């Protein structure tokens, strides 16, 4: 059974295609959604443009009030929302609460309370033109198109939307077709919070709706998803000359040094690889452990993995949930098969879970892996933990950097100074020392990747500012009748400018000014 099934072709009811959605853990039907057409996208854009006119005039405090009201609605409806997230994704309820809802409440609260401070005008005193002053302002852009994936449908849709709205923009969100009911829940939350009409809209649909949003004339696109789609988004935005933020995939390495705390590192590896069934852009996708501690580390990782409980959830008693998107199972299986054919050994797992009809893949630990295998080079996005034993930390670092990605990484050592040094040598947008994955959850931390993992940053001051036009306003401190170096030019002015250059960059006094 496919998770998504078209139930009506073009020209059906309302002239829109429909898609049926199933719970990946139980295979029960959740419902059906309409695929918004290009015309729907245009209508939403128009509505958003109108809403923007008033929204951008509100103070930060007024905008923040709506965000805090939305947070209160979430807290009131927490069980209902968690249920929707679980049905769409097949994840355990505790992961819906900790990784999505808690993060969303924090995002609403943090940006409601801090956006004004982070986006306030910056007054600069100038090092050269002392008669001028500069004010840098962060102005809203207009309408932000947000396109999001299925792995964290609540947090990854709400978090960029909150930042865009607090910066004064209107938002049109296109959530993943795999988890559309979470997107619909978000509309209901903002409606209940009394958000003015058109400031936040959701268009359900698949890639065709996303593609229409790229063409519709947004002022910026914030995209989270695969590298493959990310390239299409970048191309479309390039053609329209609009900015885009691309939060793409990862193949995050974990480096376990000789002096790592073994129990903590083993637990970190297991949670980092199997949380959300490994369907996290910042999940641990490959481990390099030095030969000195490899044996006890691997033994403990296997032991902890075998203790994990998997299946559809009853009352919080499940550790590892379902694979949300069925085609992802094929990717996982092909990576495992390729690794085994090339000599890898499965220590535990290595197959679909036969106990349940839903899409479950057993938490899997592999050893004997190397960089000729897909499992060490391509994003698997599943509950797989391949461990490569290395001679020393230097080799670990070299292999960790042998990748086209660069989203997140983690390093485990008792020596914090060494941890920081290794972190700085990793080609990665973020690194965690003695923990994993937490970077997305730290509101102050800019988040994003290098290389194929993306362009730009979300979160924190840098992320918030990326939803703004940066405007420089230069003002004269005092106004004279004329400026000496303007027309008419003359030989005397020429000599004067030569003297100024000599003074500034050759004389001792000029150098004292810092030039």
Catalytic residues: 247, 281
Rounded CA-CA distance 191/131 in Å is: 50
Q: Of 49, 60, 31, whose CA–CA distance to 184 is shortest?
A: 31
Residue nearest to ligand NAD (CB): 210
Residue whose structure tokens are 């996708």:
285
Give the pair of three-digit tokens for residue 318: 């499940």
Percent composition of the chain: helix, strand, coil (DSSP 3-state, to 5): 45, 20, 35
User: Is 371 within 8 Å of 288 (Cβ atoms)?
Assistant: no
User: Is 293 within 8 Å of 256 (Cβ atoms)?
Assistant: yes
Residue whose structure tokens are 């995939």:
249
Question: In this structure, what DSSP letter does residue 196 have?
Answer: P
The DSSP-derived string for 48-96 is HHHHHHHHTTS-HHHHHHHHHHHHHHHHHTHHHHHHHHHHHH---HHHI
Helices and strands (H and E) in the chain: how many: 17, 19
- Which 3 state secondary structure label does DSSP give 476? strand
Pairing between β-strand 132-140 and β-strand 345-348 as defined by DSSP bridges: unpaired
- For residue 488, whether the previous peptide bond is cis, meaning omega lies within 30 degrees of 0, is yes
Rounded CA-CA distance 454/429 in Å is: 9
Question: In this structure, what DSSP letter does residue 441 have?
Answer: G
The DSSP-derived string for 306-345 is HT--BSS-STT--SB---SSTHHHHHHHHHHHHHHHTT-E
Binding residues vs ligand NAD (CB under 6 A): 147-151, 156, 174, 176-177, 206-207, 210-211, 214, 224-226, 229, 232-233, 247-250, 281, 379, 381, 407, 449, 454
- Which 3 state secondary structure label does DSSP give 28? coil
Q: What is the torsional sign of CA 100, 455, 184, 6?
A: negative
Q: How many CB atoms lie within 10 A of CB 121?
A: 10
The residues near 166 (Cβ < 8 Å, ≥ 6 apart) are 60, 63, 64, 67, 111, 112, 115, 464
Supply the minimum distance, in Å, between the C-beta of residue 81 and ligand NAD. 19
Q: Alpha helix (H) ranges present in 119-166?
A: 155-166
Rounded CA-CA distance 50/39 in Å is: 17
Rounded CA-CA distance 253/263 in Å is: 18
Rounded CA-CA distance 381/277 in Å is: 8
């Amino acid at each position: 059974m496919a998770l998504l099934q078209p139930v009506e072709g073009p020209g059906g009811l309302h002239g829109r295609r429909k898609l049926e959605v199933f719970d990946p853990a139980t295979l029960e039907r959740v419902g059906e959604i309409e695929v918004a057409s290009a015309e729907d996208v245009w209508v939403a854009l128009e509505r958003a443009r109108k809403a923007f006119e008033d929204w951008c005039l509100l103070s930060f405090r007024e905008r923040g009030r709506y965000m805090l009201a939305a947070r209160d609605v979430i807290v009131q409806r927490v069980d209902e929302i968690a249920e929707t997230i679980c049905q769409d994704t097949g994840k355990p309820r505790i992961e819906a609460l900790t990784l999505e809802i808690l993060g969303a409440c924090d995002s609403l609260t943090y940006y409601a309370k801090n956006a004004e401070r982070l986006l306030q005008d910056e007054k600069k005193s100038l090092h050269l033109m002392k008669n001028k002053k500069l004010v840098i302002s962060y102005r809203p852009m207009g309408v932000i198109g947000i396109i999001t994936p299925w792995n964290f449908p609540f947090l990854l849709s709400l978090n960029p939307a909150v930042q865009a709205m607090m910066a004064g923009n209107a938002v049109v969100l296109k959530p993943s077709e795999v988890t559309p009911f979470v997107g619909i829940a978000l509309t209901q939350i903002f409606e209940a919070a009394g958000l003015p009409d058109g400031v936040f809209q959701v268009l359900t649909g698949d890639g065709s709706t996303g593609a229409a949003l790229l063409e519709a004339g947004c002022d910026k696109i914030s995209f989270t998803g695969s590298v493959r789609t990310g390239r299409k988004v970048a191309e479309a935005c390039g053609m329209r000359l609009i900015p885009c933020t691309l939060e793409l995939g990862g193949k995050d390495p974990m480096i376990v040094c000789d002096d790592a705390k073994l129990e903590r590192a083993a637990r970190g590896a297991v949670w980092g690889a199997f949380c959300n069934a490994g369907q996290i852009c910042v999940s641990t996708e490959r481990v390099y452990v030095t030969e000195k501690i490899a044996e006890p580390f691997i033994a403990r990782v296997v032991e902890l993995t075998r203790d994990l409980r998997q299946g559809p959830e009853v009352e919080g008693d499940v550790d590892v949930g379902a694979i949300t998107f069925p085609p992802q199972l094929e990717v996982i299986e092909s990576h495992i098969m390729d690794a085994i054919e090339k000599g890898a050994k499965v220590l535990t797992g290595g197959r679909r879970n036969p106990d349940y009809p839903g899409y479950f893949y057993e938490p899997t630990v592999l050893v004997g892996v190397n960089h000729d295998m897909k499992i060490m080079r391509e994003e698997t996005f599943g509950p797989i933990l391949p461990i490569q034993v290395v001679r020393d930390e230097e080799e670990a670092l070299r292999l960790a950097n042998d990748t086209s990605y660069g989203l997140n990484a983690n390093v485990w050592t008792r020596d914090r100074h060494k941890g920081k040094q290794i972190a700085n040598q990793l080609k990665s947008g973020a690194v965690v020392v003695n923990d994993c994955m937490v970077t997305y959850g730290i509101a102050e931390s800019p988040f994003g990747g290098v290389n194929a993992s993306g362009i730009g940053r979300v979160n924190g001051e840098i992320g918030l500012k990326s939803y703004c036009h940066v405007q420089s306003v230069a003002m004269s401190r005092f106004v004279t009748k004329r400026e000496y170096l303007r027309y008419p030019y003359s030989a005397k002015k020429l000599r004067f400018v030569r003297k100024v250059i000599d003074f500034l960059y050759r004389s001792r006094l000029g150098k004292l000014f810092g030039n």
